[in-house]
């Protein structure tokens, strides 16, 4: 069945349909990962977006019931050059086509993903639509250009708290779910943490009354500046001196709560091959990233915070250590799976801070 990818600039790409056959409109981004397509599909940070995979063959090892990073995918469409409908892997349960149908995600393949990526790189992230059958280009372009991602965090966060236990519990952690990846929870549980997953809009007074040894701020979708209520609550929690560790959106939200500013990147960072430098050690790490916004360098008062990591691709801020509160954050994903786990030691750094805090309590 024919399908069409229509970009906001009027570009039309004809391809073939796979997945769930329905029309969709979203923000178009590209991901440069060579593996981990199931983790990409199930990452809630893609809420409201259509994802183009730059690696040409997708689906060759199928999908399974273990590797999802969230309860259900939140992206709106999936664009690939070639998809494999006869995968081979001992862990496989279903094909990627069956996975997309199961979660009602439309897909398009046999399409020039290299050209699409070039357009996005040159002109920036733009809205797009995937359509099936006949359509009016002018009418569709009007709908595409009027699209805007709204209420992203509120749409993906859990509705009520729940607890994930650890067999060798040492510490009790509160994890704000802004669209959290499951491997953040796994990384904490493996280190002896009982994790209470909290809805994004939980009040600071309630969090501080739960007796946590540390607070984790998760990844998530959308523009951090829209999360005004969350930012106000983080201001209160930060003043308690409880150890805090933020990843991706959590990194951005804490920075905004401390007076920082955010900017939208031209085409974002989406992939598992982004080089980041630790400014203290001058070591470079390959990281997994998925974000369209970044904290503006120099927007935080140097007496209150210092930049610890930068991107070696565009020199944007990738890590912040705070001087006035007990917190550090990173823009990238140290819990990446699939993806490089070069920076997994940051969870150990968090544990050290928690231990020191617990001993003083």
Do residues 325 and 243 make contact, with C-beta atoms less than 8 angstroms apart?
A: no
Please confirm, yes or no, whether 248 is among the known catalytic residues.
Answer: yes
Count Cα atoms within 13 angstroms, Cβ side, for 73.
23
Q: How many CB atoms lie within 10 A of CB 352?
A: 10
Cis status of the peptide bond prior to 338, with omega within 30 of 0: yes
Query: Which of 264, 253, 316 has the alpha carbon at shortest distance from 293?
Result: 264
Distance CA 189, CA 92 (A): 26
Neighbour-count burial for 156-183, b at 16+ CB within 10 Å, e otherwise: bbeeebeebebeeeebbbbbbbbbbbbb
The residue annotated as part of the active site, out of 27, 318, 335, 337, is 335
Out of 63, 227, 248, 337, the active site residue is 248
Active site residue 335: yes
What is the DSSP-derived secondary structure letter of residue 46? G
103 is catalytic: no
Question: CB of 110 within 8 A of CB of 81?
Answer: yes
Q: Which residues pair with 346 in a beta bridge?
A: none
Catalytic residues: 248, 333, 335
């Amino acid at each position: 069945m024919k399908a069409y990818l229509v970009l906001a600039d009027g570009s039309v790409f004809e391809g073939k349909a796979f997945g769930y056959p329905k029309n969709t409109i979203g923000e178009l981004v590209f991901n440069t990962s060579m593996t981990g397509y199931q983790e990409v599909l199930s990452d809630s940070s893609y809420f409201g977006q259509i994802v183009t995979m730059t690696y040409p063959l997708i689906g060759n090892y199928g999908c399974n019931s273990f590797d999802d990073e969230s309860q259900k995918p939140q992206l709106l469409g999936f664009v690939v050059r070639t998809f494999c409908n006869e995968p081979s892997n001992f862990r496989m349960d279903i094909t990627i086509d069956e996975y997309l149908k199961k979660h009602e995600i439309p897909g398009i393949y046999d399409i020039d993903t290299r050209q699409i990526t070039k357009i996005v790189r040159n002109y920036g992230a733009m809205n797009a639509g995937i359509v099936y059958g006949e359509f009016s280009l002018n009418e569709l372009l009007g709908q595409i250009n009027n699209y805007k991602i709204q209420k992203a965090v509120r749409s993906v966060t859990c509705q009520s708290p729940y607890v994930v236990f650890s067999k060798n519990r040492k510490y009790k952690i509160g994890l704000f779910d802004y669209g959290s990846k499951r491997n953040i929870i796994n990384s904490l549980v493996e280190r002896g943490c009982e994790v209470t997953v909290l809805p994004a809009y939980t009040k600071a007074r309630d969090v501080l009354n739960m007796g946590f040894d540390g607070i984790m701020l998760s990844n998530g979708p959308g523009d951090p500046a829209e999360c005004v209520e969350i930012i106000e609550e983080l201001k209160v929690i930060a003043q308690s001196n409880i150890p805090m560790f933020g990843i991706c959106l959590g990194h951005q939200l804490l920075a905004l709560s401390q007076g920082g500013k955010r900017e939208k990147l031209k085409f974002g960072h989406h992939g598992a091959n982004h080089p980041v430098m630790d400014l203290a050690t001058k070591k470079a790490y390959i990281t997994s990233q998925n974000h369209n916004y970044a904290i503006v360098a120099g927007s935080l008062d140097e007496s209150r915070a210092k930049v610890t990591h930068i991107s070696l691709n565009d020199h944007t801020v990738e890590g912040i250590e705070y001087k006035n509160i007990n917190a550090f954050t990173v823009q990238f994903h140290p819990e990446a799976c699939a993806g490089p786990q070069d920076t997994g030691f940051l969870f150990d750094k968090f544990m050290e801070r928690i231990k020191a805090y617990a001993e003083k309590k």
